[in-house]
A and B are shown apart, each in its own frame.
Chain A
Amino acid sequence: MLKDITLGQYFPGDTIAHRLDPRTKLLLVVLYIVGLFCADSGLTYGVMIAVFLTCARISKVGAKALVRGLKPVLLIIIFTGILNLFFTPGDYLFQFGVLHISRQGIKLAVQMVLRIMLLIMGTFLLTYTTSPIRLTDGLERLLGGLKKLHVPVHELAMMMSIALRFIPTLIEETDKIMSAQKARGADFESGNLFHKAKALIPILVPLFISAFRRADELAVAMECRCYHGGEGRTKLNPLKYAARDYWALACGAAVTAGVIVLGRFGF
């Protein structure tokens, strides 16, 4: 049951989207987000939807997986939609007490909902096609310049990949501890909020203890292999831009620039 959570879940595959350099993909996502926030008309939104559908098609990620990614933010999407629909002033089409629907409200609601959905699903495409390791690798290289400002980029990236690596492990552990306490009659479902909070203690205490134990063991294992931070550390698979990366970046930049220009001229 806990295992059903998708959190940056990676679907292994061998499409061009999988093979792109993670840095390229990160930059493309940034361009995509900029494009989304600049889009303001039917035409520009159409362009962004087309871009998204093309990318989804190329990376061969199923529609089901993408829609599932929306589940956690469903509430936010609905809330945004309703707020914009009912509380935007303009040419009223319908009025009932404080609630009113205006032409502008409908437009804004549709735009906001579309924007959030495209935003979430687009970024999910990134995590679906890029393994966590490659993703943090790419992030580390992209932010490499910050090292000059004494930002511990490598350490942050390492922390991130360890954290990502341990999410499934900890979920499994939580499942196990829950079963064990249930076997001793623990009850997580009934009772009021206070009871439910109290019922978490038998799960959280063992979970924290095991997380600390794991951290300790991992630290020792890393020291045994002479890990001493990022200085002078080389990579097993160094990141290298290929021709396809330049093409992808060029396309991305062109689309975003196009959307901005279209917006400027009021299309």
Chain B
Amino acid sequence: MEPILKVVHLTHIYGTGTPFERSAVEDMSFDVADGEFLGIIGHTGSGKSTLIQHLNGLLKPSSGQILLEGKDIWAEPKKIRDVRFRVGLVFQYPEYQLFEETVYKDIAFGPTNMGKTGDELDCCVREAARLVGIRDDQLEKSPFELSGGQKRRVALAGVLAMQPRVLILDEPTAGLDPAGRENLLANIRDYHRNKNGTVIMVSHSMEEVAQNVDRILVLKSARVLMQGTPKDVFCRADELLSAGLDVPQITRVAMALKERGLAVDPAVYTTEALERQLLTLRKGAAGC
């Protein structure tokens, strides 16, 4: 199947021609399949934010291409706005970009820019609000009266209302409490499952990525270090650790157990999987 988003040899250099010249993205290539939930992890400064700003045309590549549904997004620079409607980008701390008098109007900002009006607009806004769990009576409130977690969900709805083909989230759970975090992740999972949308989530919490995504892209110093399913990636836990990245806590427990001589496979990233392994181990031992 044709990938919905294809990044080909993407390079971005900041400050070309100045002494501060440095490349934030270097020769990255990867595909994003339609309907996939992709996680991007990497250190601060590994080029995550620069990369995702290329995917919806906010930054122009120094060299390389981004193909959206097979077409170079910069083929017609005048139509870059259409690309931004099809690739929705939710920035870090998106609640700081709310500006309208009511939640409803703020969510409607994106679709209105697309030229939607009347019932169609209303439909988009209400559906987006429903997806992130905002009640109808909250739609007429000022967004500034809401709590932090609710504000962030309004901001997410503001992007979902454009009904993008690809949704990109930059650290969507940063600064939320555990309950708010789980809530938001559930919203995103629901959206992914029910709408069959393509989701790209940037995060530096390994747990979050491991438990939610289908495939992981690991970045290190502006390059793609590895990509694959969570199992493939956490198999190479040693490499991750030596790259200065974390692995999920449970993977670390499994690695420690293996080091002490237990025959566990350290490539686990959920508590349940390790529990199952340990139970079979004990059964095996009892059987001897």
Interface residues of A (CB under 8 A from B): 176-177, 179-187, 201-202, 205-206, 209-210
A179's partner among B91, B113, B158, B159 (CB-CB below 8 A) is: B91
B174 within 8 A of A: no
Q: List 28 A-B contacts (CB under 8 A).
A: A177-B96, A179-B53, A179-B58, A180-B91, A180-B97, A181-B97, A182-B58, A182-B84, A183-B56, A183-B89, A183-B91, A184-B109, A184-B110, A184-B159, A184-B162, A185-B81, A185-B85, A185-B109, A185-B110, A185-B114, A185-B162, A186-B113, A187-B81, A201-B99, A205-B99, A206-B98, A206-B99, A210-B96
Secondary structure of the B contact surface, majority rule: helix
Residues of B near A209 (CB, < 8 A) are 96, 144
Q: Is the CB of A206 within 8 A of B84?
A: no
Q: Could you tell me the distance between the alpha carbons of A206 and B89 in the complex, rounded to whole angstroms?
A: 18
Contact at A183–B99, with CB atoms within 8 Å? no
Say whether B172 faces chain A, with CB atoms less than 8 Å apart. no
Residues in B whose Cβ lies below 8 Å from that of A183: 56, 58, 84, 88-91, 159
Shortest beta-carbon distance from A178 to chain B in Å = 9
Which residues 122-178 of B sit at the A interface, judged by CB distance below 8 A? 144, 158-159, 162
* Residue ID in chain B nearest A205 by CB atoms: B99
- Interface residue ranges of B60-93 to A (CB < 8 Å): 81, 84-85, 88-91
- In this assembly, does B42 line the interface, its C-beta being within 8 Å of a C-beta of chain A? no
Is the C-beta of B94 less than 8 angstroms from some C-beta in chain A?
yes
The residue on A at minimum CB distance from B107 is A184
Give how many A-B residue pairs fall within 8 Å (CB-CB): 52
Give the interface size bracket for B toward A: 20 to 34
With a cutoff of 8 Å between Cβ atoms, the chain A residues found around residue B56 in the complex are: 183
In whole angstroms, what is the CA distance A205 to B106 when docked?
A: 12
Known contacts A176-B91, A179-B53, A182-B84, A187 near B113 by CB under 8 Å: yes
Cβ-closest chain A residue relative to B155: A180
Given contacts A185-B84, A185-B85, contact A180 B94 (CB under 8 A): yes
List the A side residues contacting B58 at CB < 8 Å: 179, 182-183
Shortest beta-carbon distance from B116 to chain A in Å: 11
- Assembly CA distance A202 to B96 (angstroms): 11
For B96, the chain A residues whose CB sits under 8 A away are 177, 206, 209-210
Apart from A180-B91, A184-B84, A209-B96, list 8 A-B contacts with CB within 8 A. A180-B94, A182-B58, A183-B88, A185-B109, A186-B109, A186-B113, A202-B97, A202-B99
Report whether B113 and A184 are in contact in the complex, using a CB–CB cutoff of 8 Å: yes
Most chain B CB within 10 A, of A179, A181, A185, A201, is at A185
**B144 cross-chain contacts in A, Cβ below 8 A:** 209
Complex contacts, A176 vs chain B, CB 8 Å? 91
CA distance A206 to B162 in the complex (A): 21
Closest chain B residue to A181, Cβ basis: B97
For residue B182, give the distance in angstroms from its CB to the closest CB of chain A. Answer: 25
A183 to B114, CA, bound (A): 12
Which of chain A's residues have a CB closer than 8 A to the CB of B88?
183
The distance in angstroms between the C-alpha atoms of A181 and B100, with both chains bound, is: 12
Kindly provide the distance from the CB of B150 to the nearest chain A CB, expressed in whole angstroms: 16
Write out the residue numbers on chain A whose beta carbons fall within 8 Å of the beta carbon of B110: 184-185
Query: In the complex, A227→B175 CA distance in Å?
Result: 29
Min CB–CB distance A5 → chain B (angstroms): 15
- Most chain A CB atoms below 10 A, which of B53, B58, B88, B99: B99
List the A residue with the shortest CB-CB distance to B78. A190
| Complexed CA–CA distance, A186 and B109 (Å) | 8
A184, A187, A202, A206 interface centre (most CB from chain B within 10 Å): A184
- The interface residues of chain A lying within 8 Å CB-to-CB of B98 are 206
Chain B proximity of A212: nearest CB distance (Å): 11
How far, in Å, is A10 (CB) from chain B's closest CB?
Answer: 16
Could you tell me the distance between the alpha carbons of A186 and B81 in the complex, rounded to whole angstroms?
A: 9
Residues on B with beta carbons closer than 8 Å to the beta carbon of A186: 109, 113
B residues within 8 A CB of A182? 58, 84
- Which residue of chain A lies nearest to B99 when distances are taken between CB atoms in the complex? A205
Which 6 pairs from chain A and chain B are nearest by CB? A185-B113, A205-B99, A184-B110, A180-B97, A183-B89, A180-B91
Question: A181–B98 Cα gap in the complex (Å)?
Answer: 9
**Closest chain B CB from A4 CB (angstroms):** 10
Task: Give complex CA distance A201, B101 in Å.
Answer: 12
Look across to chain B and name the residue whose beta carbon is closest to the beta carbon of A201: B99
Closest to B144 in A: A209
Q: Within 8 Å CB of B114, what residues of A?
A: 185
Residues in chain B near residue A179, CB distance under 8 A: 53, 58, 91
| Residues in A neighbouring B81, C-beta threshold 8 A | 185, 187
Q: What's the minimum C-beta distance from B78 to chain A, rounded to whole angstroms?
A: 10
CA–CA, A182 to B57, complex, Å? 10
Distance of A201 Cα from B112 Cα, bound (Å): 15
In the complex, how many angstroms separate the beta carbon of A213 from the nearest chain B beta carbon?
9
> For the complex, what is the distance from the CA of A205 to the CA of B90, rounded to whole Å?
19
Measured between beta carbons, the chain B residues less than 8 angstroms from A201 are 99
For the complex formed, measure the closest distance between the CB of B178 and the CB atoms of chain A, giving whole angstroms. 24
